[in-house]
Structure 1
Amino acid sequence: MNKYTGVLGVYNCQGAAWNSVKRKNTFHQTNSEEITGYIKGRDVHLISDVAFDSNWDGKVALYSYTTSGLKTLPGNVALTVSLKVLEYEIFIVTPVKTLAPGFSFAPLGLIDMFNAGGAIEGLKYNVTGLKALVSMEVKGCGRFGAYSSTKPRTCTVGS
């Protein structure tokens, strides 16, 4: 968990083992080509604590580090993840905040980092009628990513 996002790591470690004689990791053949599992946004412990809404419905934005893909996932809906031997996937998980009818938002952070959301130091939402303003403080540099259900009218960096 970070201040506003979570990280979910999924690994297929089949074939990897600690060799106590050589005192290092060794690898051996496995009979499995890939394994499949399922993840939910609520798999991130304490994710509801950063939802900004006591009535949060569980919807999250999931950003895949390895594929650079972004999906939204309704509460309690599972996403299938399949990994070959010694593959991994890291997801940035952020609660989706509904700001106005038809407009929702979720910051991801600096998406070229494993822990992208760790770069978000501050986050504020200001909604006036059908207008919403999202303000963030981000530390570090790089590509910033966010989910927005509609195209933002403006984006300002710095002043």
Structure 2
Amino acid sequence: MTSVIYPDGDTGVLSVTDGQWDNNGNVAESDVTQEQTVHVDQYSGAIAARYGYDDYSAVAKAVSQRIAVHEGRRFGVVNMIATTLFCLAVIFMCVSGPIMWWTRRGTASGTAAPRAKLPVWGNRVLLMAMTALGIFLPMFGLSLLIVLALDQLLIRRVPRLSRFFRTA
């Protein structure tokens, strides 16, 4: 989308930005390397300054590319299909998770569910996968640590909580 930012006062310049924020058929919308910003003197119309993707720092280029990927403006139809499948998978897990929990819990009370057959500490592949996810997804890792700490320090030590969660 091309946008014009008007000058602040008598000495300012018009800023014309051809950026990546809205897709209206503009090449710069899907190819961030085509981004341009031009500053134009408000009285003479002469170009006062011009900069674009080539003038960005390495960090700014990386951020610009990542924003385009995040917004789904890269990789065309493949990206649209992949993100649609991901969204459908999340919806499926949101629906199937409580159903699976409900069917596994049987006659147990509270939030209890049968103990898992596969202990995390005994399976190196599962432990490495959880560690890798915790490193690459810090909020996931933090939530794992909080749940582990709550389980070890509170739930297992308070008899009433231990009975409720059936950890004893």
TM-score (norm 1): 0.20
Higher RCO (Cα < 8 Å, 6 or more apart): 1
* TM-score for both structures, normalised by structure 2: 0.19
Decide which structure has greater helix share.
Answer: 2
Asked which structure has the greater CA Rg, the reply is 2
